[in-house]
Structure 1
Amino acid sequence: MDVEEENIESDASHNSNELGDTQRLHITKYPSQFRALANKFAHEKNLKDRRKLLEMYGNHLISFKRSILLNRKRWQQRYLRRQSFLRSVFMQQLLELETTFLELIPILNLNGMPSKNDLRINHSSDVCTPITRFYKDLLKLESDDWLAKFHMQKSTFDWLCGQLKENGQFLGKNSLMGKEPPYERQVALGLYAFATGIKYLEIARIFKITLRTTICRIMKSVAESIIKTFGDQYLYMPTSEEELDEIGEAFYSASKMPPVAIGVLGVCEVPAKQQVNSNSIESENSTIILQVLVDNNMIFRKVKLDTNQPSLFLEETNEITNLSPKLIKNQPVSRFIVTPDTYYPLRKSLMHKYHDPVEPHEYDFNEAVDHLFIFRDRALQRLFARWRILKCNGDIDLRTMEKVVLACCVLHNVIERNEKTFNEQWSKGPHSDNTKYTMSSRFKPVLNELHGKPHSWKADGASETRKLLGQAIYSTEM
């Protein structure tokens, strides 16, 4: 019995050294209890009482082991949280050091050391850079080079510059070095960063700008100018019956879905700059929930950005519910959009697949929805492949990144409507292979509520509408 007590005390001492002073005080009470029970057991002659003492000893031993395991697990969790916090602080300090480096060291021309005549010091700015003819050099690029650098034709770039010059709001001329009109270089910088991903050292070398803050302000101003100039013109919901019927007929030709579907909803996440919660040792990742409504031409008809949960078209009255219905099998059917079945509820205006199909028309309806999802996947693939900043970024603050995401969606519509140029090679790369444009599992499904109260899709007639659509698809395939 003394040997067993010594082993238990040694184990308690070894584990208490790992757990800290507070946990050590909680654990050291067990050896004294074991010693007291051992003394009682040694002097007790009644076998029945000795058996009870053994049972109490065993119960204390089990409690002691549980306490050791529980406290060790808590200590490990605190240790992991502390390591995560320190890692986040280290990465932020590393980024600050990189920023300081860019601000203190001028970016020199890679073709050689510039002479005194090639340098000009602007006393109104803290930047000293070579005078370049960057925009004039771009004019000498071939069409393939323009596509590789900006993911658009040169004619489109010139047209964008002309439109943004009239309506855009850019930084002052002293913010950029050189004699060229500043807005052209700012547009080039913004589109280059959007297309290739934000790489401060490369952008600073090419555009001869050493301040990271200047680069971020230029990108923000370009994004705001794009939204202001082209947002209302290229990002709008279809309202006329002719346009709605055209979209529905195109979806019908591709999937046999009755021509009342007016779009496919895509929901995915875009990373933003990591933020550290000052009230906790845990770090939090800022994530933008991008929600887009895609039509038959892979054009975004509606874009909304959220940070907590998707909310597009979840209001009681919205652009979809206000549309007039269409007759299907002599029955009026509300126009609807196809939604992901994981996060969105079932309503007359929000249709998604059957979770557990049984009847033939249920399988046919799911198959038609899968065909429509191709439009969503292709549109998002082009968006993320053409504007790589949406996938490669993690160093732009949340508010600026929201403007960049919306500007990229507007530019997507501008290019798809005018030139439709897309290189499949843009989709290949470490950040684009096998990408699924869905949300992570940490988001909960959206509750089917109206006015804060549970809403029944059976009472709404959404189930009957989906059944009617499935039967219409099934009858066309027979």
Structure 2
Amino acid sequence: MLAKLSTTPGADSLEQRKEKIALLIKLHVQHIQHIVIMKRRRSQQRAQRRLRMLRTFFMQQMMQLQTQYVQMFTLLRKKHLALRAAAPTPMRMEFLEEAMQNYDDDMFLNTFHVTRPTFKWLCTKLTPSLSKVGELKKSQFPISPQKCIALALYFLASGEPLSMISERCGLINRRIIKCIKIFCTVLVRGLGRYLQLLPQTVEDCDNVVAGFQRESNMPPALVGILGVCIVEKRQTPGTLLRMEYLLDDRMNFRELQLSSGSRMPPSPMYSQPPNALTRLPRRCINEHMVSPFVLAPLNQKFPLRPWLLQRYQNPSAPYEYHFNEVAEHLHELSDCALHRLASRWRFLSEPLDICFGTAFTVITGACVLHNMLEEMGEPHMLEWGNTVDVTRMKPMPFIPQTDTSEEAEQARDVRDFLARTIRSTPTEI
């Protein structure tokens, strides 16, 4: 084109040719822009029409599915109401029935933490008393004594919240709590001898002090170990149950005292005379008459008394270290006993769903049953305690003020005398 413009007769000047070339280029660009814009607009319009059709189709399908769901739900609801009005379905307890009837021995033991023969023995012992309880028969769907025992054992052993147990067994929480409380009440009344009090007879005291002397080299005047633990309540976070317990030489739980918030007792166990400890006959050790005593944990609100000794807080003399070594070993045994109790009955290591009054009954029943199972030689599986941490159950230490009373001074003299009687050789553990 440029050659043609340059050779045309009468060609314009150079400036005119440049203007014509620029005009041609401008027309060419406009033509290309027109083509591109038109084609792009058509493609966009086609895409929009396609999306509009798909959106309409999707909405139609969703409306159709929603209509079908509403129709189906209405039919099923009407059918359910008709069946419910015609013949009410009883509350289900298939879980407990299946566990009692179909579980093998290992599954039964890991579910209820008792063997099947022991469960049958409990049913034989407690069924006559449970059969007389009207609370189990009041409902439209009564609970048999066997199911009541199974339900209580499962609550104690599993540590599951009441909501989960309610879903498993088809019972409301209030009914479950009532069954557990009835079981523990009947258990304590019928088999309460397994939760004995402080040794009372001379023979019992002799057996206990001899057992502690064999285990820890403690002078023959120790009749028990005091322990303290806390249990959290689920309904009111931050509210704790404080449990004080007395252990004998076989690590059985001999006595309990529970407190919580406004229900705090006037004083810790055995802190105020006269009490069961002060009434025990004194014992002769190296020609000295010494009052039988229990070993209390340090900094847990227990005062230092001749019958309520604690380890030295800041030992300096060798005999003080010897006494502390023996005391620490005994407190380790106390922690082991608590771990054994909490791993068998895992509800103790979980927040409780029950009120204070019910908690005292249930915990007392759990300790009675634990003592009984220990005496019977029931198996205790190690894996039960894998998730139990007794350090979480320890209360915060309480630093008391210096006690300068006469009884505290007597207690220090008694402790010094007993500490000097302990052999300096290490104890076989």
TM more than 0.5: yes
Counterpart residue type for residue 129 of structure 2: N
How far, CA to CA, are the matches of 1:151 and 1:273 in structure 2? 24
Partner of 1:215: 176
Residue 93 of structure 2 contacts residue 168 of structure 2 at CA under 8 Å; is this kept in 1? no
Question: Which of 195, 198, 210 pairs up with 1:237?
Answer: 198
State how many pairs are aligned. 340
How far, CA to CA, are the matches of 2:196 and 2:104 in structure 1? 31
Partner of 1:149: 111
How far, CA to CA, are the matches of 2:349 and 2:273 in structure 1? 33
| Shift, 1:189, TM fit | 0.7
Partner of 1:286: 239
How far, CA to CA, are the matches of 2:222 and 2:393 in structure 1? 21
Tell me, yes or no, if structure 1 residue 392 matches structure 2 residue 350.
Answer: yes
Deviation string 1:25-78 (CA, Å, 9 cap, x unpaired) is xxxxxxxxxxxxxxxxxxxxxxxxxxxxxxxxxxxxxxxxxxxxxxxxxxxxxx
Residue 264 of structure 1 contacts residue 293 of structure 1 at CA under 8 Å; is this kept in 2? yes
Deviation string 1:246-291 (CA, Å, 9 cap, x unpaired) is 211221122111111011001111122444xxxxxxxx73322111
Structure 1 ranges of 4+ moved more than 4 A: 116-122, 130-134, 443-448, 475-478
Partner of 2:418: 469
- Secondary structure of the corresponding residue to residue 467 of structure 1: helix
| Deviation larger for 240-249 or 304-313 | 304-313
Partner of 1:455: 405
Residue 260 of structure 1 contacts residue 335 of structure 1 at CA under 8 Å; is this kept in 2? yes
Q: CA RMSD in A?
A: 3.0
Partner of 1:192: 154
| Shift, 1:434, TM fit | 5.9
Distance 1:362 1:170, change over 3 A: farther
Deviation string 1:107-126 (CA, Å, 9 cap, x unpaired) is xxxxxxx9x9999955xxxx
Tell me, yes or no, if structure 1 residue 414 matches structure 2 residue 372.
Answer: yes
Larger radius of gyration: 2
Tell me, yes or no, if structure 1 residue 352 matches structure 2 residue 307.
Answer: no
Residue 195 of structure 2 contacts residue 255 of structure 2 at CA under 8 Å; is this kept in 1? no
Distance 1:349 1:299, change over 3 A: same
Distance 1:394 1:366, change over 3 A: same
Distance 1:316 1:365, change over 3 A: same
The within-5 A match list for 1:44-83 is none
- Secondary structure of the corresponding residue to residue 302 of structure 1: strand
The within-5 A match list for 1:307-318 is 307=260, 308=264, 311-318=268-275
Counterpart residue type for residue 295 of structure 1: D
Residue 354 of structure 1 contacts residue 362 of structure 1 at CA under 8 Å; is this kept in 2? yes
Distance 1:216 1:475, change over 3 A: closer
The within-5 A match list for 1:58-457 is 121=87, 128-130=90-92, 132=94, 134-135=96-97, 138-168=100-130, 169=133, 171-173=135-137, 175=139, 177=141, 182-209=144-171, 211-275=172-236, 285-307=238-260, 308=264, 311-343=268-300, 344-429=302-387, 432-433=388-389, 435=391, 437-441=393-397, 445=400, 455-457=405-407
Deviation string 1:166-199 (CA, Å, 9 cap, x unpaired) is 2343633353747xx6111111111101110143
Distance 1:131 1:256, change over 3 A: closer
Gaps of 5+ in 2: 1-79
Gaps of 5+ in 1: 1-113, 276-283, 449-453
- Secondary structure of the corresponding residue to residue 175 of structure 1: coil
| Shift, 1:447, TM fit | 9.0
Distance 1:174 1:349, change over 3 A: same
Partner of 1:77: none
Query: Could you tell me the TM-score, scaled by structure 1's length?
Result: 0.65
How far, CA to CA, are the matches of 2:401 and 2:255 in structure 1? 19
Distance 1:149 1:137, change over 3 A: closer
Distance 1:273 1:120, change over 3 A: farther
| Shift, 1:374, TM fit | 2.6
How far, CA to CA, are the matches of 2:384 and 2:84 in structure 1? 37
How far, CA to CA, are the matches of 2:246 and 2:206 in structure 1? 16
| Shift, 1:339, TM fit | 0.3
Residue 288 of structure 1 contacts residue 306 of structure 1 at CA under 8 Å; is this kept in 2? yes
| Shift, 1:399, TM fit | 2.0
- Secondary structure of the corresponding residue to residue 227 of structure 2: strand
Residue 254 of structure 1 contacts residue 371 of structure 1 at CA under 8 Å; is this kept in 2? no
How far, CA to CA, are the matches of 1:412 and 1:244 in structure 2? 22
| Shift, 1:128, TM fit | 4.2
| Shift, 1:157, TM fit | 1.3
Residue 161 of structure 2 contacts residue 353 of structure 2 at CA under 8 Å; is this kept in 1? no
- Secondary structure of the corresponding residue to residue 91 of structure 2: strand
How far, CA to CA, are the matches of 2:213 and 2:321 in structure 1? 17
| Shift, 1:358, TM fit | 0.6
| Shift, 1:132, TM fit | 4.6
Residue 93 of structure 2 contacts residue 169 of structure 2 at CA under 8 Å; is this kept in 1? no
Deviation string 1:279-326 (CA, Å, 9 cap, x unpaired) is xxxxx7332211111011110111111223662111211111111111
Partner of 1:100: none
How far, CA to CA, are the matches of 1:300 and 1:120 in structure 2? 53
Percent identical among aligned pairs is 28
Residue 194 of structure 2 contacts residue 368 of structure 2 at CA under 8 Å; is this kept in 1? no
How far, CA to CA, are the matches of 1:176 and 1:297 in structure 2? 46
Distance 1:383 1:121, change over 3 A: farther
How far, CA to CA, are the matches of 1:273 and 1:200 in structure 2? 11
